[in-house]
Amino acid sequence: MKSYAETVGAVQTADTAVVRGPTSVVVRLHVNGTPRTILVEPRVSLLDALRDRLGLTGAKKGCNQGACGACTVWVDKRRVLACLTLAIACETREITTIEGLSDGVELHPMQQAFIDHDAFQCGYCTPGQIMSAVALLAEGHGADDDQIREWMSGNLCRCAAYPNIRAAIRTVRDAATNQIPATAAEGGSTRPEPARARPAGVGPTETGPPPAGSGRPGPAEGPAAEGGPGAAA
Ligand code: FES
Ligand code: FES
């Protein structure tokens, strides 16, 4: 019977350190509340694992080098750049993508607000924008437009929908502050803000827990293709 190390492709070295790889190894992830198991090389990024192995194409590959924010997801409730994060480093962590943001029935208020405020054109940056926007409010960084601009600065939008994105964020912020449905505030969703886990406050572009590959200069405002406020391909 194979040992665990053999099963996951690990190599036991003389000093007992366990090295996994460089060939494909079993990686167990917890994505949007569901355990997932994939076979990937340790060098595979979380973004490629999500998109190519798990079929979760909401997070987008814009620059693939930590500059645009299109790949923003949450790891342990903190926003991270999935293109700079190794999938294998997320094994014991909770990963949340745009596909897991809503309850599967109604859109998250931020998704609805993006629609209501026409906060996108091509939609390529939108999933990342929304994941950052929800995190930004949870972090308490949405007091005014300057703060929103700063803490969203890591998410670029080639379509320059920034004013509308900020309007969407303000709507959700104000609806939550006044405890009123976003629709009543500025035409957003009638669904009350769910009690979501709040991504811990990290820097604008900081994006990441230990495994996270942040390293980008600021949070987010970027590039392009399909996808709307929901998932996207
Ligand atoms: S694709 Fe990750 S920051 Fe651009
Ligand atoms: S809507 Fe942002 S890049 Fe097109």
CATH number for position 181: 1.10.150.120
Q: Decide: 120 in ligand 2 pocket, CB within 6 A.
A: yes
User: In this structure, which residue's CA is closest to atom 2 in ligand 2?
Assistant: 157
Looking at residue 216, its pLDDT comes to: 38
17: in domain = no
Structure pTM? 0.76
Give the nearest ligand 1 atom to 84 CA: 2
Q: Decide: 158 in ligand 2 pocket, CB within 6 A.
A: yes
Gap between the terminal Cα atoms of the chain: 41
Domain range spanning residue 184?
A: 45-233
Residues near ligand 1 (Cβ within 6 A)? 61-64, 66-71, 81, 83
Residue 50 DSSP label: I
82: in domain = yes
Average pLDDT over residues 70-88: 98
Q: Decide: 54 in ligand 2 pocket, CB within 6 A.
A: no
Looking at residue 10, its pLDDT comes to: 57
Is residue 232 helix, strand or coil? coil
Ligand 1 mutation target, pool 45, 46, 52, 68, most atoms within 8 A of CB: 68
Looking at residue 151, its pLDDT comes to: 98
Average pLDDT over residues 175-182: 71
166: in domain = yes
Residue 187 predicted with pLDDT over 50: no
Which among 33, 172, 169, 27 is positioned nearest to 96, based on CA atoms?
A: 33
Distance (Å, whole) CA 122 – CA 25: 37
Q: How confident is the model at residue 36 (pLDDT cuts 50, 70, 90)?
A: very high
Number of domains in the chain: 1
- Region of residue 71 (left: phi > 0; alpha: psi -120 to 50; beta: else): alpha
21: in domain = no
